[in-house]
């Protein structure tokens, strides 16, 4: 495992799901971890787990759909640990729904928390990244939806993730001369807390059985990729999005799509 001792990583969405797994993985590898969480109690729980395991972590209440919160999160990490070497932007306010079924507030929240937040976080951290040992690393958690395929009834989400993917490619060129790399990981379905809420345990199992590798992805799968992209070994990679979907987009399945669509419709019915 790469040694991240004396390096600082900010993880947005650090209280649950992929963000939690990423924070735990970096802490296990020796990093100082600043967990950004909109619901601070979730962040505190992950911080306690890290500290109990001998790691070093702090958490900060931040709604990254807000520009000032993004800047404050970076400032908090600098104040706590002296700098910032890595950001993993895992948070997303996911707007479920197709055209005509997502109001302006939900559309803006999704776009701001996913794409705008990437801009704000990288911009705020840029001076510290330029001083980082082995170079600064910005890693965003994107999606195959909106980049390599389209999921019905997820139009707003896919649009925001596509914008994020465009940002990764362009911003990488903006900062490449400063020793900063900018990359994304684009997962398929990940068995996160949110996915379990939508699909349920049986739905996840049914969906996973349709994935070519035989299972849904896990938050730990994404964390492992983040460790690589944050390492010194990845310094020749920038402006890239790594697809991690177990082969789903190269082997489409009607059953897989039907499982997801039925559960999305059920969730929309509950909230309408």
Rounded to an integer, the average pLDDT of 181-199 is 87
Residue 13 has pLDDT above 70, yes or no: yes
How is the chain split into domains, by residue range? Answer: 8-271
The reported pLDDT for the residue numbered 206 is 82
Residue 237 has pLDDT above 80, yes or no: yes
Q: Considering 42, 157, 207, 236, which one is annotated as catalytic?
A: 157
Reference 113, options 183, 181, 62; nearest CA is: 62
Rounded to whole angstroms, how far apart are CA atoms 130 and 177? 9
Confidence of residue 261 (pLDDT cuts 50, 70, 90): low
Q: Give the SS3 label for residue 150.
A: coil
Contact 4, 230 (CB under 8 A): yes
CATH code, 8-271 = 3.40.50.720
**pTM for this model (two decimals):** 0.91
Name the average pLDDT for the chain. Answer: 91
Note if 157 is an active site residue: yes
The reported pLDDT for the residue numbered 39 is 94
Task: Please report, for residues 96, 104, 257, 264, the alpha-carbon distance to residue 101 in angstroms, rounded to integers and kept in the order given.
Answer: 8, 10, 19, 12
What are the pLDDT digits (tens) for 238-256? Answer: 999 999 999 988 876 666 5
The reported pLDDT for the residue numbered 255 is 63
What are the pLDDT digits (tens) for 62-93? Answer: 999 999 999 999 999 999 999 999 999 999 98
Rounded to whole angstroms, how far apart are CA atoms 252 and 256? 8
What are the pLDDT digits (tens) for 41-55? Answer: 999 999 999 999 999
The reported pLDDT for the residue numbered 85 is 98
What are the pLDDT digits (tens) for 110-136? Answer: 999 999 999 999 999 999 999 998 899
Half-sphere exposure (Cβ direction) of 187: Cα atoms closer than 13 Å: 21
Q: Mapped to the 3 state alphabet, what secondary structure does 35-61 carry?
A: EEECCHHHHHHHHHHHHHCCCEEEEEE
Residue 26 has pLDDT above 90, yes or no: yes
Q: Give the SS3 label for residue 250.
A: coil
The reported pLDDT for the residue numbered 94 is 82
Helices (H), the chain: 17-28, 40-52, 67-81, 104-111, 117-129, 155-175, 193-210, 219-230, 254-271
Contact 57, 27 (CB under 8 A): yes
Rounded to whole angstroms, how far apart are CA atoms 74 and 72? 5
Residue 269 has pLDDT above 60, yes or no: no
Residue 272 has pLDDT above 50, yes or no: no
Q: Give the SS3 label for residue 96.
A: coil
The reported pLDDT for the residue numbered 54 is 96
Q: Cβ–Cβ contacts within 10 Å for residue 138, how many?
A: 29
Helix (H), strand (E) at residue 79 = helix 67-81
Contact 210, 256 (CB under 8 A): yes
């Amino acid at each position: 495992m790469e040694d991240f001792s004396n390096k600082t990583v900010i993880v947005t969405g650090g209280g649950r799901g992929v963000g939690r797994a990423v924070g735990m993985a970096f802490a296990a590898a020796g990093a100082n971890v600043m967990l950004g969480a909109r619901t601070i109690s979730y962040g505190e729980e992950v911080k306690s787990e890290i500290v109990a395991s001998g790691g070093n972590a702090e958490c900060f209440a931040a709604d990254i759909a807000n520009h000032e919160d993004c800047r404050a999160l970076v400032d908090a990490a600098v104040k706590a640990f002296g700098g910032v070497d890595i950001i993993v932007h895992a948070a997303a306010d996911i707007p479920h729904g197709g055209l005509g079924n997502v109001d302006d507030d939900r559309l803006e929240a999704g776009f701001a928390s996913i794409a705008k937040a990437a801009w704000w976080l990288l911009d705020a951290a840029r001076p510290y990244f330029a001083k980082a040992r082995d170079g600064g690393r910005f890693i965003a958690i994107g999606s195959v939806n909106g980049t390599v395929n389209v999921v019905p009834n997820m139009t707003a989400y896919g649009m925001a993730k596509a914008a994020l993917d465009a940002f990764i490619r362009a911003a990488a060129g903006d900062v490449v001369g400063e020793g900063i790399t900018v990359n994304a990981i684009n997962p398929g379905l990940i068995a996160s807390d949110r996915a379990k809420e939508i699909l349920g345990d049986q739905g996840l199992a049914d969906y996973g059985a349709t994935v070519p590798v035989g299972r849904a992805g896990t938050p730990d799968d994404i964390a492992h990729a983040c460790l690589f992209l944050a390492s010194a070994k990845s310094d020749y990679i920038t402006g890239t999005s790594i697809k991690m979907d177990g082969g789903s987009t190269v082997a489409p399945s009607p059953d897989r799509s039907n499982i997801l669509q039925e559960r999305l419709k059920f969730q929309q019915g509950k909230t309408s």
